[in-house]
């Protein structure tokens, strides 16, 4: 691992993708000899593209959330992105592709699907020779994350891994790692010192309110309802970098000594670990941090799509409650404060599904260079897409045409996924367990439009060799 040049790529759409990237970078830095570089690719693009990717998304979330949910569901099947969108991404990311090529990494770890797609494209074109790990940042898996070639996919939970295996990915390609969180969540700390710094008592529950994520009016409404609660509690309200909200919040809680208002703070891991409840949105990273801290959540206003699915998982696991009425958020917090046994059970559930070690798992597994990137042929992509939208049995085994795996006969590692009909095109006969891939046959296929993608896959597998024997599984 110490000799590997590692590039970590994120995209600053919200803070979660960069937070996960930083956590992985910290885990990799434990090897003093590692050469690691991290890039937010939106920092390298033009202002129009960056704003469309980031600001426009959150404008849609605020103005037409139903459209965001529809878009998420529409892109749920893998390999569905329209060609014009792929072209648009490539045209606006030339500088970062140049940086990737110049750095010439041995390993790329992507915590957003956009850089993952770009690196896959560069692999297919022969512009880089690298291992590509894709680290998802929500509890469910959306099709935009699946790209080819790809070496490993890191997902948040085992159910998500099972979903991808049912779609046909080989088991060695998918790791249920959890979502990477900062190392502070597993580091020793002094609870008494944290409470002392923030003027908090040890014998009264602490409610941690993420006001910056909730937004101005909603955050003020949440705190206003909490102020009316009869239960004894303390609150820490975190406003982030929203100075206007912080001023409004301080004015609202004036005269309430048990409510403490903060701006941006680096102490969230410690504050989470001394709190009894977290109130906020179920973003992938914030939820994972709460679970790593063993902190139950009160979920407010999940974004349609990924955050609603995150909420489903947290509710199913018993680690959260959801507020569907804006008028009863305070009431719901009060019912939990009145039920210490229920809170303790929620805390145990949060700890059970928390993965404070996720960043180290990603760093360790990604640094294993023995697994080559996996190519998924065009026909195989179509089969996986159909399987993901099937109304009955969604496994590829139930598809009209099964997937087959080409393997390295020496190691057994998967090399490519192809449709069964493509085996005959490559020269295989029924029952054959080994196949000789030759450059002459592949060159002939390149002149046939219906087989061009398969020829490209085979050529990529050959590399510089004139022929290669592969196993069929």
Domain 1-181+356-372 fold: Rossmann fold (3.40.50)
Homologous superfamily of the 184-354 domain (CATH): Glycogen Phosphorylase B; (3.40.50.2000)
Are the C-beta atoms of residues 396 and 419 closer than 8 Å to each other?
no
Task: Tell me what the mean pLDDT of segment 181-188 comes to.
Answer: 92
Q: What is the pTM of this model?
A: 0.92
Q: In percent, how much of the chain has pLDDT > 90?
A: 67
Please, where are the H alpha helices in 296-406? 306-316, 329-337, 340-353, 358-366, 378-388
Asked if residue 2 has pLDDT above 70, the reply is no
Phi, psi of 133 (to 5 degrees): -105, 130
The Cα 248–Cα 225 span in angstroms is: 15
- Cα-Cα end-to-end distance for the chain: 31
Extended beta strands in 195-276, E state: 206-210, 234-238, 259-262
**Per-residue pLDDT, 213:** 59
Q: Please give the pLDDT value at position 87.
A: 87
With a cut of 80, say whether residue 245 has pLDDT above it. yes
Q: What is the pLDDT of residues 365-388, one digit of tens each?
A: 998 888 999 999 999 999 999 988
| Mean pLDDT computed over 460-471 | 86
Q: Do domains 1-181+356-372 and 184-354 have the same CATH topology?
A: yes
φ, ψ (nearest 5 deg) of residue 403: -85, 150
Lowest model confidence (mean pLDDT) among 54-58, 102-106, 175-179, 284-288: 54-58
- d(CA 433, CA 36) in angstroms, rounded, equals 41
CA neighbor of 117 nearest in space, from 149, 155, 159: 149
Write down the domain spans for the chain: 1-181+356-372, 184-354, 374-473
Q: pLDDT band at 397, cuts 50/70/90?
A: low
Contact predicate 371/172, CB 8 Å? yes
pLDDT in tens, 3-57: 789 999 999 887 889 999 999 999 998 876 679 999 999 999 988 888 887 777 7
């Amino acid at each position: 691992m110490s000799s590997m040049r590692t590039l970590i790529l994120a995209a600053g759409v919200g803070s979660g993708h960069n937070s996960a990237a930083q956590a992985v970078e910290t885990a990799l830095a434990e090897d003093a000899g590692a050469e690691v570089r991290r890039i937010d690719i939106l920092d390298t693009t033009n202002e129009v593209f960056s704003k469309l990717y980031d600001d426009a998304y959150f404008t849609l979330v605020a103005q037409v959330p139903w459209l965001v949910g529809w878009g998420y569901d529409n892109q749920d099947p893998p390999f569905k992105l329209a060609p014009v969108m792929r072209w648009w991404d490539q045209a606006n990311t030339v500088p970062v592709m140049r940086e990737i090529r110049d750095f010439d990494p041995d390993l790329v770890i992507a915590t957003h699907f956009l850089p993952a797609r770009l690196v896959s494209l560069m692999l297919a074109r022969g512009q880089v020779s690298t291992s590509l790990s894709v680290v998802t940042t929500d509890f469910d898996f959306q099709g935009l994350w699946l790209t080819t070639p790809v070496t490993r996919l890191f997902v948040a939970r085992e159910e998500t891994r099972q979903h991808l295996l049912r779609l046909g990915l080989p088991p060695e390609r998918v790791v249920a790692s959890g979502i990477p969180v900062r190392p502070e969540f597993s580091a020793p700390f002094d609870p008494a010192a944290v409470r002392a710094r923030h003027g908090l008592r040890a014998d009264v529950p602490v409610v941690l309110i993420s006001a910056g994520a909730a937004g101005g009016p909603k955050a003020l409404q949440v705190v206003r309802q909490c102020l009316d609660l009869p239960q004894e509690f303390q609150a820490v309200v975190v406003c982030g970098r929203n100075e206007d909200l912080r001023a409004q919040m301080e004015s609202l809680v004036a005269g309430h000594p048990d409510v403490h208002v903060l701006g941006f703070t680096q102490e969230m891991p410690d504050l989470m670990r001394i709190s009894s409840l977290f109130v906020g949105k179920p973003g992938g990273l914030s939820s994972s941090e709460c679970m790593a801290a063993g902190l139950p959540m009160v979920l407010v206003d999940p974004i349609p799509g990924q955050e609603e699915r995150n909420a489903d998982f947290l509710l199913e696991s018993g680690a959260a409650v959801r507020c569907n009425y804006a008028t009863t958020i305070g009431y719901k917090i009060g019912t939990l404060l009145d039920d210490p046994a229920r809170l303790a059970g929620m805390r145990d559930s949060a700890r059970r599904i928390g993965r404070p070690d996720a960043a180290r798992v990603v760093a360790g597994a990604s640094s294993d260079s023995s697994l080559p990137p996996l190519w998924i042929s065009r026909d195989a992509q179509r089969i996986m897409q159909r399987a993901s939208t099937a109304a009955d049995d969604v496994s590829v085994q139930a598809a009209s045409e099964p997937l087959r795996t080409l393997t390295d006969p020496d190691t057994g590692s998967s090399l490519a996924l192809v449709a069964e009909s493509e085996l005959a095109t490559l020269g295989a006969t029924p029952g054959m367990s080994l196949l000789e891939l030759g450059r002459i046959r592949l060159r002939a296929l390149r002149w046939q439009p219906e087989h061009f993608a398969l020829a490209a896959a085979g050529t990529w597998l050959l590399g510089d060799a004139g022929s290669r024997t592969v196993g069929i599984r």
